Structure 1
């Protein structure tokens, strides 16, 4: 089974590369759903690890409907990833009604060229998932990362299985969202060929509590750093070999 680690930092990506993961999805600001990482981060991760690096292409948090200016930024970021030797990109665009914007997404696929293209978890907002997959097939998308329209892939398990049985010969249905040590074997047993997880652990820095926080009140304070843990990665990889 192919194991993809969602890595929110250089250390996370290196941990994934050293712990047996099949590939990395590199992003920044995972607590916000992920945004495009920096040029320097992408360049250094590609140089540091020997497994394929896919890069999240998302110019900001706050939904998946973008202006023409933002779409140009995204296409330019895709081209940057190609120039740095990335194996794939992870992206996608929705319309205001949360259906897939096939024109904008096709533009990103075209910009990707020889790189692999994964439609990310924006798919979980799509009101009709079967129609959504049909749209992705029309524009040549390789893979869809989804939790089956539920909060976690475990909660959306039945939907994921149905999608895979219907479309799995034409597109990779990759479960992601809340995949962990307790449930990863269930996805392997169901016949999925790929799975996505972050294996993150909060590392608490030995720093004094700052006088003010720049985080929303619903989030931990700035002393916590999210890192993909090498021991968790290794255990999960071993479970689905």
Structure 2
């Protein structure tokens, strides 16, 4: 089983690599679900991190239905990631009713090639997950990051297993949200090939009056504990 670490900074990415994680999903502002990292962070990661890195392409927080200018921004960011030689793209687009925006998602997938394409947790907003899964298989998505439509993947594991059974070898169901060293074993026993975790800890609290969001980092020891559990299971 592979462990993908959701890294929100250069330090998080470095900790992921040094701990032995197999892949990174790179984003910024994890507290709002993640947005596209800055060019400076992308460049630093591309020059110094050697394990595979997939980059989140999400222009803002909020919903996953984007205006034309936002969509153009997403495409520009994908082109930058290709030039910087990243391994994959993590993105996706929904319609206003939270169904898969097939045409726009298809355009992002085609633009991303030859990089891999992960449809992100916008999937957890859809009303008909099995239909959405079949649509994404048809579009050629490589994996779907999902919590099984629950706040935590552990609570959505029954649906995750159903989706995995439907997907078979056509794409990878990547469970994520709330996965740690205490529950990672559940996903290995269920036969998942990969899991996703931030494995983070709070390192400081903001004293700025307009932003009380704590600063977190993917923690070396937390990552190693997850790896130990899934290796020895």
- Give the TM bin, normalised by the shorter chain: over 0.9
State the secondary structure of the residue aligned to 1:136. helix
Which whole-Å CA distance do the structure 1 matches of 2:168 and 2:45 have between them? 31
Which whole-Å deviations, capped at 9, do the CAs of 1:13-37 have from their partners, x for residues lacking one? 0000100000000000000110000
Q: Measure, in 2, the Cα distance between the counterparts of 1:227 and 1:74.
A: 26
Structure-1 residue corresponding to 2:225: 235
> Secondary structure at 1:64's aligned position in 2?
coil
| Match of residue 210 from structure 2 | 214
State the Cα deviation string for residues 162-208 of structure 1 (Å, max 9, x = none): 11112132110010011111100110111000000000100026x8x
1:30 aligns with 2:30: yes
Once the two structures are superposed, the pairs formed by residues 6-21 of structure 1 within 5 Å of their partners are: 6-21=6-21
> Matches of residues 115-134 of structure 1 in structure 2 within 5 Å?
115-134=115-134
Residue aligning to 1:96 = 96
Q: How does 1:24-63 map to 2 (within 5 A)?
A: 24-63=24-63
1:200-227 deviations in Å (ceiling 9; x for gaps): 100026x8x44xx223xxxxx25x3110
Q: How does 1:45-194 map to 2 (within 5 A)?
A: 45-194=45-194
- Could you tell me how far apart the structure 1 residues matched to 2:21 and 2:39 are? 23
Q: Does 2:191 correspond to 1:201?
A: no
CA separation in 2, counterparts of 1:15 and 1:214?
29
Gaps of 5+ in 2: none
Where has structure 1 moved over 2 Å in runs of 4 or more? none
- Residue 95 of structure 1 and its aligned partner are, at CA, apart by 0.2
- Normalised TM-score (structure 2): 0.96
For residues 102 and 42 of structure 1, the distance between their equivalents in structure 2, rounded to whole angstroms, comes to 28
Higher helix share: 2
Q: How many residues align?
A: 231
Task: Please tell me whether the aligned partners of residues 137 and 167 of structure 2 are also in contact (alpha carbons under 8 angstroms).
Answer: no
Aligned-residue CA RMSD (Å): 1.1
Which is worse superposed, 17-26 or 166-175? 166-175
SS class of match (2:141): coil
- TM superposition score normalised by structure 1: 0.93
Q: Deviations over 1:51-110 (max 9, x none)?
A: 001000000001100011111100110110000010001000000000000100111111
CA distance in 2, matches of 1:193, 1:179: 14
* SS state at 1:155 partner: helix
